[in-house]
Structure formats: structure tokens, C-alpha cells
Chains A and B, each alone.
Chain A
Amino acid sequence: MSGTFVGMPAFPAAAREAVRDTTLRGNLRHATHTIRAKRARAVAELDDWERLRQAGKRIKDRTLRHLDRYLVQLEESVTAAGGVVHWAADADEANRIVAELVKATGETEVVKVKSMATQEIALNETLEAQGIHAYETDLAELIVQLGKDRPSHILVPAIHRNRGEIRDIFTREMGEWGRPAPEGLTDTPADLAEAARLHLREKFLRAKVGISGANFMVAETGTLVVVESEGNGRMCLTLPETLISVVGIEKIVPTWQDLEVFLQTLPRSSTAERMNPYTSMWTGTTDGDGPRNFHLVLLDNGRTDTLADEVGRQALRCIRCSACLNVCPVYERAGGHAYGSVYPGPIGAILSPQLRGTASEIDASLPYASSLCGACYEVCPVAIDIPEVLVHLRERVVEGGEAVREGNKVRLRPAKGHAAERAAMRAARWALTRPGALRTGQRLASRTRRLHPRTLPGPGRAWSGTRDLPPVPAEPFRDWWQRTRGGKDGAK
């Protein structure tokens, strides 16, 4: 199963470790709080935000509910524009396709622009095993790659490293990979960025093969979109002769016009900018401009299994903005590595167990990596009800039930040793199925109050272990309001 970091402890153990690491915790708190505040300002500039959010949700739902049609349409338009489309049912197949395409060029080096899909399938490791070096060119990915490390945040993968650590990594490792770091490199961000510029430029200029993902693919026109900041994406997308893009099948939008929604909501949600510095859009190949060969590898790898779950499929709406990470109290304490997947935070907690199944201990524990406070849902630009999916997945872990794995229906057995959770779930379901019941953590927590240990169940334990849980009031404010007001106005 690719994508699970080998030897990864389950979320509780990994989170406990991370919570103890004070550097990581300090970096994460600084980072998440900074982005969070900036995002709120960027979003507040648009007074139609909620309408954009709903439109984004609907566009993605339209895509997902007719995905077969849009996949075929996309294939047609990419092919008509000079691209070659490949289909990969799983990680192995995608890796095989890419490796063969690279080998056919005779090259042994590729430059890569940050892509979660290629991380998910562990493409770099596979290529390396076949003698092909894949160079990550995103500054943060470079830091991660040189530090022989794992990314910890979707958007800022090196969020767990501070400037001193980065200087040390550059000084020690750059020479091994190419142009060494300048003598006497300081730890100011500008100097570190300059070192990265020089180190990577020689790779860009000689690269013959580029590998990317994509943020969006437009079915109607065959256009791919990559949104970025540093310009490494533009380098990888335009200088090489061959471009290979590996993209999850859920990244489609039906029409060109649909981009008008996401190009407004994505930058503001993710980097809290009105617009990110660079966005590249290309449709097949263009004579005399950019790569002469363009290959698109459409990746399933668990996405169709996720699509089969009527509650869980909304996770496929995700546009990977990472806003939900930055507001999540559990993520802030535990850090990205604790999630044991390239998808950390709230979205990881609902996506990884669906893409990979809940057979492993880490994946079974992920739906518990949340206090169900609902902040993730509030900020999500495509309105994914993450708490709803978490509750649904918890139920499946605890009680078992039907699921689809690699295209086949399977019956999951109830997990052992989850008795407490099973009890909590019963109470939760009771609250959720009552008419008018609120799907908020506060409400849920109150309902199950008697079942609440002083620490959170499952992975949350590590989090609550270092911090007293706020006491759950016997009656949440909203209940009280409804009850007392209800006394006057009659129950609603």
C-alpha cells in the first residue's frame, strides 16, 4: 500500500511523540496562527464568499456525480490538443507508466513541481530504484528532500523546520546533490532562498523531463492548471521537452468558466493571497512554446472506492488548500507527521482511511484524530462536512459494514478494542439522527458527556494528554437557548 510511511506508528503514538517535540510545536503554532489570521482577512475582502463557496461545492458535486462522462470528455479534449492520456488504476501502475515514459526519453534526471498525487504514490522512490533521480524544486520540498525528511503540511511542507535547521541542511547536503550552498550561508530567509535559486537553476536549465500534478483539469477544453508561488512550477512546465502530469481523477472541473470560482477561492484559502504569484494553464502542446510531448496520467488509487461511499465521497471535492489544517486544534498540537500520510490534518483524517481502507492501525485511528469542533468545515472553500464524514468513518471502524476496496464490495469487520468508542458513537448517532439536532462537536460532546473520559478517545488521547480538555458544560448554550426560548415561543 503506497503512501503509508513505512514503520509509521499509529496516530496516538506518533502524536504523543510530536506533542513532546517543542520545536515542532512552536513552529506549527506560529505558522498555523499566522496563516489563519491572514486567510480570514483575505476572505473578508469578498462579500460574496459564501456564494462562491456554495458554487465551488456544486461544481465539484456535478463533476463527481458524473465523473465517467467528464473523464471521457477530458480524454478527448487533451488528445485533440496534442496530449497523450494514460489511465492508472493504482499507485504501481502510475509509477510504471511514468518510469517507462522517462526511460523512453533516455534521461536519468527529472525535475518535479510539488504534487501530492506523486507523493501519494511514492513516485520519487520508485524512480530512484530504477536509476532515475527526481529533483523536487519547491523550496519546502527541497528542504524536506535534502533533510531526508517527510513533509508535514500540504502547503508548507517544511513548516516543522526553522531557519537555523534549514541553513544546516543546505550547508550539509546541497553539495551532495549538485551546486553546493554558498560559503558562510546565513539563516536569513532571503539568503536561504537565494541559495535554493542557485542550486536549482542549473537543474532547471538542463532538464529534459518535467513531472507535475495539477490543481484543475477542464473537461471541456482539456486545459490543465497549476497554481504556485515560486516559479519552479513554470520552470518545470515550460523548459523541458517532455512533461508528465500525474493527476487524481477527481481534479476535473466541467467548464472553463468554472475556474472563475476556484481561482478566487483557492489562493485566498490557501496562502491568504488575492492571487498567488504564478498560475500556469496549458492545453495539450503548443508549437514552438513549451514541451513538445505532454502526457497526462489519470490516477485512481482508491478514489473510485471513495466515490462509492455516499457520505464519504464529498472528500473528493477537496482542492487541497490546507485551510482546514490551519484551524485544527488537533493538527496544531500533533503536527502533520502524526497522520502517517501525505494528507495530514482534518482532510487527511477523512481522505487517507478512504483511499487506503482502514485495515492498518493508523488508518483505523485517523477518524478519531479530531475533536469534532467543526472549524474545518467552516473554512473549507468547497464546504466539505469533515465532522460528518469523521463520524461516518468512526462508525464504520467501530461497527464494520460495507465498503468498496479496489473496485470490489467488501464487508469490514468491527474493530476490536473500541468499546468506549462504540458507546460514544451510539450516543453520537442518537444526537445526529434527531430532527434539528446540531452537528457540532459541542453538542455531540455534551450528549456523550457521561461517556467522555477526561482524555479524548483514540488518537486524540495524545493531544488531550498534554492539555486538560475544556470541561464540557452539562448543557450547551444553544440547547439552553432553545429550551428556554422554546418555553415562550413553543418548540420549533
Chain B
Amino acid sequence: MSSRERILGRVRRALADVPPGEDVPVERDYLREHGERTVEETVDLLAENLADYRAVVHRTDTGSLPGVVAELLSARGASTVLVPPGLDEGWLAAAEVTRVPDEAGSTPHELDQVDSVLTACAVAIAETGTIVLDGSPDQGRRRISLVPDHHICVVRVPDQVVASVPQALERLDPARPLTWISGPSATSDIELDRVEGVHGPRTLEVVLVR
């Protein structure tokens, strides 16, 4: 007998007391959103919660975005930036940096040499201060937002902002590789003192663009 059959057999014997055809109803009477907010207030909450977990938040409009991106990169002293294949080229129009394309062939060591990464996102969650990346062409492979030490993420507001986790899951496609990011990486493993930045980017800047 294979272990598959053995385990399934054990499960079925263990559940001999469960009436056939039984289902356990799950009441989803919890909230789809906590509190009532206008669209504007939801975006404010996103900004507030992002900042609370030590992401650096900037707000701008489409016209000024290239200038803001250029400024952030130069303030950081970045000379190279990773660019997902489908990123709006205009976003980097004002930046004087070397663009490093996101390619399947790059090695992790090569990515480790790049100063910054610029991506879009799939959705942002206000209640938790979370941005979610889904590997779309304007976000690139998962590793590009991981290895460089500085991540700039552009969120289109209010379209990409939802209030809550349940609303975010509705918008996401489980078939895509998803990365949920809430602030820069952190650890509290040493006497519960929170330290920002262990292995992921130690600086996360989120630009809210309308």
C-alpha cells in the first residue's frame, strides 16, 4: 500500500463518526470593511498605516511622478535601478541612473549589486498598510523586489486601494505568485526589540500617485 493510500485510509477511519453528507457551514458574518470611510479617508488610512510600519510615504500626481522618483533615487545615492519589463518608462524619465532590466538570466549575485528597484503594485490595503505585488509586467519577478536594499513602489490611488484584507483577496489571482509587503522587513527576535531591515529591502518607499 502506498503512503498516500495509508494516510487517506487513516483519515477516513478517524472520521467514522462524521455523518456522510455533513458539511460544516461557515458563517461569514464578519465585516468586509472595518468602519465607514470615504475614498479619500481610505487612502489617508493607507498612508498612515504604511508609515506606522516604517515605510516612507510620498504623495504626488502623475505629472510630478518622474521628478519624485528621480529625487528619491538621487537622495539615496543610487546609480543603478532594477526595472520590470512592463514598467511605464515615463516614471524614470527624469532619473539619471543606469537601468538594469529584470531578466530570467540574471544571477542573485548580480541582483545584489543593484542599488534600488522601482515597481508598481497590484493592490494596496488601507487597514493593514500592505502593498501586494503579483508579478505582472510592471512589477517583475519576485526576487527583484527582494534582493536590492531599496524598494520604491508606486501605488495608483484611489484605484488600486482597497480597505481590507477580504477586499484585497477578491481582486487577486491565486494563480500568480503573490508577495504581500507591510513595511520593510523586520525582526523582533532579540529581546523583542523591533529592528527594521533584515534580509529584504531595508528601505521601502511608497509613492501614492493620483
Q: Contact residues of A with B, CB < 8 Å?
A: 27, 30-31, 34-35, 45-48, 51-52, 54-55, 58-59, 61-62, 65-68, 71-72, 81, 87-89, 93, 137-140, 143, 156, 158, 162-163, 166, 189-190, 192-193, 196-197, 200-201, 204-206, 218, 221, 223, 229-232, 234-235, 237-239, 249, 256-261, 263-264, 267, 271, 273-283, 286, 288-290, 298, 300, 304-305, 307-308, 310, 313, 404, 407
Q: Which residues of chain A are near B37, meaning CB under 8 Å?
A: none
Q: Which residues of chain A are near B75, meaning CB under 8 Å?
A: none
Inter-chain CA distance A61–B183, complex, in Å, is 33
Q: Which of A62, A139, A278 makes the CB contact (< 8 A) with B24?
A: A62
Q: Which residues of chain A are near B49, meaning CB under 8 Å?
A: 274
Q: Which residue of B lies closest to A229 (CB)?
A: B186
Q: How far is the CB of A491 from chain B (nearest CB, A)?
A: 33
Q: Which residue of A lies closest to B49 (CB)?
A: A274
- Interface residues in B87-140 (C-beta closer than 8 Å to A): 104, 107-109, 112, 125, 127-130, 135
Q: Do residues A273 and B3 form an inter-chain contact, with CB atoms below 8 A?
A: no
- Interface residues in B25-60 (C-beta closer than 8 Å to A): 25-31, 34, 49, 53
Inter-chain CA distance A61–B18, complex, in Å, is 11
Given pairs A66-B23, A206-B109, A278-B182, 11 additional interface contacts (CB within 8 A): A55-B27, A58-B27, A62-B24, A163-B190, A205-B107, A232-B199, A263-B169, A274-B129, A277-B183, A277-B185, A286-B135
Q: How far is the CB of B103 from chain A (nearest CB, A)?
A: 9
- Interface residues in B53-69 (C-beta closer than 8 Å to A): 53
Q: How far is the CB of A153 from chain B (nearest CB, A)?
A: 10
- Given known pairs A231-B200, A235-B199, the reply for A278 and B179 (CB within 8 Å) is yes
Q: How far is the CB of B153 from chain A (nearest CB, A)?
A: 13
Q: Do residues B174 and A231 form an inter-chain contact, with CB atoms below 8 A?
A: no
Q: Do residues B18 and A65 form an inter-chain contact, with CB atoms below 8 A?
A: yes
Q: Which of B10, B108, B135 makes the CB contact (< 8 A) with A300?
A: B10
Q: Which of A31, A143, A229 makes the CB contact (< 8 A) with B192?
A: A31
Q: Which of A193, A205, A273 makes the CB contact (< 8 A) with B109?
A: A205
Q: Which residues of chain A are near B53, meaning CB under 8 Å?
A: 273-275, 277
- Given known pairs A140-B189, A205-B109, A234-B199, the reply for A223 and B141 (CB within 8 Å) is no
Q: How far is the CB of B142 from chain A (nearest CB, A)?
A: 4
- Interface on chain A toward B: helix, strand, loop, or mixed SS? helix
- Given known pairs A55-B30, A264-B165, the reply for A192 and B108 (CB within 8 Å) is no
Inter-chain CA distance A285–B9, complex, in Å, is 29
Would you list the 7 A-B pairs with minimal beta carbon distance, nearest first?
A: A231-B200, A231-B199, A304-B10, A308-B14, A275-B128, A279-B180, A231-B185
Q: Do residues B191 and A193 form an inter-chain contact, with CB atoms below 8 A?
A: no
B86 interface residue (CB < 8 Å to A):
no
Q: Do residues A256 and B179 form an inter-chain contact, with CB atoms below 8 A?
A: no
Q: Which residue of A lies closest to B104 (CB)?
A: A288
- Interface on chain B toward A: helix, strand, loop, or mixed SS? loop
Q: Do residues A139 and B178 form an inter-chain contact, with CB atoms below 8 A?
A: no
28 contacts between A and B (CB under 8 A): A30-B192, A35-B192, A45-B34, A46-B31, A47-B31, A47-B34, A65-B15, A66-B18, A139-B187, A156-B189, A189-B190, A189-B195, A193-B187, A201-B199, A204-B108, A204-B199, A205-B147, A229-B185, A231-B198, A234-B179, A234-B199, A239-B143, A257-B169, A280-B142, A280-B177, A286-B176, A305-B14, A310-B17
Q: Do residues A162 and B191 form an inter-chain contact, with CB atoms below 8 A?
A: yes
Q: Which residue of B lies closest to A162 (CB)?
A: B191
Q: Do residues B184 and A289 form an inter-chain contact, with CB atoms below 8 A?
A: no
Q: Which residue of B lies closest to A192 (CB)?
A: B190
Q: Do residues B185 and A278 form an inter-chain contact, with CB atoms below 8 A?
A: yes
Q: Do residues B6 and A68 form an inter-chain contact, with CB atoms below 8 A?
A: no
Q: Do residues B169 and A259 form an inter-chain contact, with CB atoms below 8 A?
A: yes
Inter-chain CA distance A256–B168, complex, in Å, is 12
Q: Do residues A230 and B193 form an inter-chain contact, with CB atoms below 8 A?
A: no
Q: How far is the CB of B50 from chain A (nearest CB, A)?
A: 11
Q: Which of B165, B179, B195 makes the CB contact (< 8 A) with A193?
A: B195
Q: Which residue of B lies closest to A47 (CB)?
A: B34
Q: Which residues of chain A are near B9, meaning CB under 8 Å?
A: 407
Q: Do residues B187 and A234 form an inter-chain contact, with CB atoms below 8 A?
A: no
Inter-chain CA distance A35–B27, complex, in Å, is 30
Inter-chain CA distance A189–B190, complex, in Å, is 6
Q: Do residues A275 and B187 form an inter-chain contact, with CB atoms below 8 A?
A: no
Q: Which residues of chain A are near B109, meaning CB under 8 Å?
A: 205-206
Q: How far is the CB of B172 from chain A (nearest CB, A)?
A: 8
Interface centre among A27, A139, A158, A229 (most CB of B within 10 A): A229
Q: Which residues of chain A are near B183, meaning CB under 8 Å?
A: 277
- Given known pairs A47-B34, A189-B193, A264-B165, the reply for A221 and B175 (CB within 8 Å) is yes
Inter-chain CA distance A229–B181, complex, in Å, is 10
Q: Which residues of chain A are near B31, meaning CB under 8 Å?
A: 46-48, 51
Inter-chain CA distance A158–B190, complex, in Å, is 8
Q: How far is the CB of B143 from chain A (nearest CB, A)?
A: 5
- Given known pairs A87-B3, A200-B199, the reply for A30 and B191 (CB within 8 Å) is yes
- Given known pairs A30-B192, A282-B177, the reply for A231 and B24 (CB within 8 Å) is no
Q: Which of A30, A261, A274 makes the CB contact (< 8 A) with B30?
A: A261
Q: Which residues of chain A are near B188, meaning CB under 8 Å?
A: 156, 229, 271
- Given known pairs A189-B193, A234-B146, A278-B200, the reply for A67 and B15 (CB within 8 Å) is yes
Q: Which residues of chain A are near B185, meaning CB under 8 Å?
A: 229-231, 277-278
Q: Do residues B7 and A298 form an inter-chain contact, with CB atoms below 8 A?
A: yes
Inter-chain CA distance A139–B198, complex, in Å, is 9
Inter-chain CA distance A281–B181, complex, in Å, is 12
